[in-house]
Structure 1
Amino acid sequence: MKRQNRKFEKFDAFELFSAYTSKYSINIQDKDSLKIFLKEIRKSIEGSQKTPITIHGKRIEMLFAYVAGALGSVKLVKQEDAGNLFTANSEIEMPDYRIILNDNEQILVEVKSFNNQDLHKKFELQKKYFNKLKNYADVMNVKLYISVYFRLFNHWVLLPIEAFNDEDTKYTIDFTQAMARSEMYKIGDCMLATTPDIEIRILTDEENAHQLPSDNSNKVLFLPKKTEIFCNGKMLNTELESQLAFYFMRYSSWRESVHDLIIKNNKVYGVRFVYTSEKHDGQLFANLGWRSSMISEFFKTLTIKDDKVIATESFLNPSEFSVQIPDDYAENYNDLPLWIFIQEPNYEPLKKVKI
């Protein structure tokens, strides 16, 4: 999916200027109107810069659009809460996005973020606010979903209101309930697994392999000539498998376990990095994580630095945030085996398992 880039510097800026001058009955062609407008906009932006919750909220809202677009199961993602709205019902609120799925079903999505490490701490949605969103969805005759990003778990859920607990003036749900009842599969999300380990080797050739120093210089020249990627000891020879393996090394839940030199006959031939995860006894594979979580991790590298938001969005295309897995992958690719788990919603009470 590609981002349709608008000339926001021209059209969005003038639309905002037009709305401002209309609201305060200012002549749009008056020379002083621009000065007044820029002064107020500067004040507003400076206020937002000093309000982390505003910046983080906007980043998460934009992140959802990239997640939905990158997963590959939707035709269109459109920001819904933009532009003017003229309505006979004042108790109405536009949700964040309209999404058209590959089967042409349309859904409306309101995006929220929740920052708490307690699995049983409840996310809350005020009924008064939800009802305004629902009024808009009813007028559009489109089903409304709430997408919550549990940021500290790097986990997305997509929930109809039926998934929430009805509590007086609010709807609530905790992380474990949200995970079980999520319908992220509708937009293409799934959990992936493969056989550990994944290893990348950056190698030089015989001509450029240098001896380890015999003196105290501790310096070795190294000229990379090629890379080799392995999964469970098998070298990957196809472009798709190599792309997937590298993507998993960067953005999955697996972590680097080995980082060392490749030395033969006292010469340095390369360096290798090994990524792995815990594999349970008798199990062929280890969990890589959810695709939506990997996309979010990629997005994080572009928008977060030193734990601070440096951007709320990216101008990369959503398709660049993921590697698509073809339907016939299992029949055509053997060296990087993939297990794909598609979760359906479960509303039954979850049983506690003793570990």
Structure 2
Amino acid sequence: MKRQIRNPQKFDTLELYSALARDQGYRIDAQGDIDAFHQKIGDSLKASLDNPSLLHGKRVEAMFAHVAGAMGRCKYIKQEDGGTAFATSDDFIAPDYRIVTIADELFLVEVKNFHMKHFSSRYRIKRPYLKKLEAYAKINRADLKIAIYFSTVNQWSLLSPESFMEENGELWIDLAHAMARSEMSVIGDRKIGTLPLLRFEMLCEQDQDKPPISEDGIAEISIRETHMYCADQRLEGAQEKDIAFYLMRYGDWDVTQGAVEVSDGTLSKVSFLSTPREANNNQEFEIVGSLSSMVCNAFRELTISDDTGIVSLDVKYDPSFFRLKIPEKYKGKGLPIWQFIIQPNRKFFSDKEHNL
């Protein structure tokens, strides 16, 4: 899936000037009005950049489009809440996105970012707000979905309004219910498993002209070839290598440096290992992660710095850039893959609720 080409620098700035001109009385032939526009935009941008909640929310909103587009089940994704709109009342709120799946299912998605402090923390949504979203979806003959990103655990949930519970006139959902009732499979999400461990190996050129490893451990190397392994079996096909590298880089397993080999004072081999954080002795395979979470990890690399925080709200790359290309009926040779498509259980209730 690719972003449709448009020129925001040309069209969006003119539309923004036109929008402010309606409220401020700006003219397009008055230099003073243009200068005032520049000042107002600069002040507004500075205020927005100083608002962490706004920045995180907008980054997550942009990330959802890439997540949905990268998982292979959507054929059209469009921002819904932009541009001029006219309505007979204030009873409508446009959600963030319009999505059409490859099965021609149409729904509108409102994206929310939730940084929960505890696993029992509840995401709350006001009923009047939800009713306006539903009213907009109804006049567009589309279903409404609420996409919640649980940022603390890097998990997405796609929910129908009826999946929320009500208490004292307020709608809410927690992580357990959101995961059990999630409809992310509609847009292609699935959990991926394989055999541990994964190993990435780099073999170095044995160049006699290169200096030996220094006393402080610095080595100058040239990589001769690389290999990928799954459960100590070397992968040969390009597709299997690409899948394994993606899982290793963006999955939930821990990555550590493996064996380092030295020959005649120079580095000859370096390896990195990817292992599950917790082993399940009752099965041979382990879950590496969900597709949506892996896309989020890739998107995070380009938009967040561990030192300075958010550095960008969106990326120049198309959703296809983030896609892990595993066919749904894929059967590997050296890299066995387990794929789990999780269906929503709207009747799910937690143990705590059953004990009430």
Tell me the residue number matched to 2:231.
232
In structure 2, distance between residues paired with 1:180 and 1:108: 21
Q: How does 1:174-193 map to 2 (within 5 A)?
A: 174-193=174-193
Q: How does 1:1-355 map to 2 (within 5 A)?
A: 1-206=1-206, 216=215, 218-263=217-262, 268-277=267-276, 278-305=278-305, 306=307, 308-330=309-331, 333-346=332-345, 347-351=347-351
CA contact (8 A) 1:209 1:268 kept: no
Structure 2: which 5+ residue stretches go unaligned?
A: none
CA contact (8 A) 1:95 1:109 kept: yes
Given the two structures, how large is their TM-score scaled by the length of structure 1?
0.93
CA contact (8 A) 2:291 2:324 kept: no
In structure 1, distance between residues paired with 2:96 and 2:218: 55
Q: Secondary structure at the match of 2:162?
A: helix
In structure 1, distance between residues paired with 2:216 and 2:47: 53
Q: CA deviation at 1:222?
A: 2.0
Q: Compared with structure 1, are the counterparts of its residues 103 and 267 closer, same or farther at alpha carbon in structure 2 (3 Å cutoff)? A: same
In structure 2, distance between residues paired with 1:169 and 1:217: 65
Q: Secondary structure at the match of 2:349?
A: coil
- Aligned letter for 2:333? N
In structure 2, distance between residues paired with 1:217 and 1:92: 65
Q: Secondary structure at the match of 2:166?
A: strand
In structure 1, distance between residues paired with 2:265 and 2:48: 58
Q: CA deviation at 1:245?
A: 1.0
Q: CA deviation at 1:25?
A: 2.3
Q: Deviations over 1:156-185 (max 9, x none)?
A: 000001110022332101110101000000
In structure 2, distance between residues paired with 1:86 and 1:282: 59
- Aligned letter for 2:141? N
Q: Secondary structure at the match of 1:123?
A: strand
Q: CA deviation at 1:262?
A: 2.1
Q: Deviations over 1:87-138 (max 9, x none)?
A: 1122211000000011111000000011113111111001111111111111
Q: Secondary structure at the match of 2:100?
A: strand
Q: Secondary structure at the match of 2:41?
A: helix
In structure 2, distance between residues paired with 1:22 and 1:349: 51
Q: Secondary structure at the match of 1:329?
A: coil
Q: Secondary structure at the match of 1:99?
A: strand
Q: Compared with structure 1, are the counterparts of its residues 222 and 209 closer, same or farther at alpha carbon in structure 2 (3 Å cutoff)? A: farther
In structure 1, distance between residues paired with 2:39 and 2:55: 21
Q: Secondary structure at the match of 2:189?
A: coil
Q: Secondary structure at the match of 2:81?
A: coil
Q: Secondary structure at the match of 1:61?
A: helix
In structure 2, distance between residues paired with 1:216 and 1:265: 15
Q: Secondary structure at the match of 2:125?
A: strand
Given the two structures, how large is their TM-score scaled by the length of structure 2?
0.93
Identity score, percent: 34
Q: CA RMSD in A?
A: 1.9
Number of aligned residue pairs? 349
Q: CA deviation at 1:216?
A: 4.6
Q: Secondary structure at the match of 2:192?
A: strand
Q: Compared with structure 1, are the counterparts of its residues 86 and 211 closer, same or farther at alpha carbon in structure 2 (3 Å cutoff)? A: closer
Q: Deviations over 1:243-276 (max 9, x none)?
A: 1111111110011133331235765311111111
In structure 2, distance between residues paired with 1:57 and 1:258: 35
- Between stretches 273-282 and 337-346, larger displacement belongs to 273-282
- Aligned letter for 1:131? K
- Aligned letter for 2:249? R
Q: Secondary structure at the match of 2:152?
A: helix
CA contact (8 A) 1:224 1:270 kept: no
Q: Deviations over 1:256-309 (max 9, x none)?
A: 133331235765311111111133113111110111000001111100012511
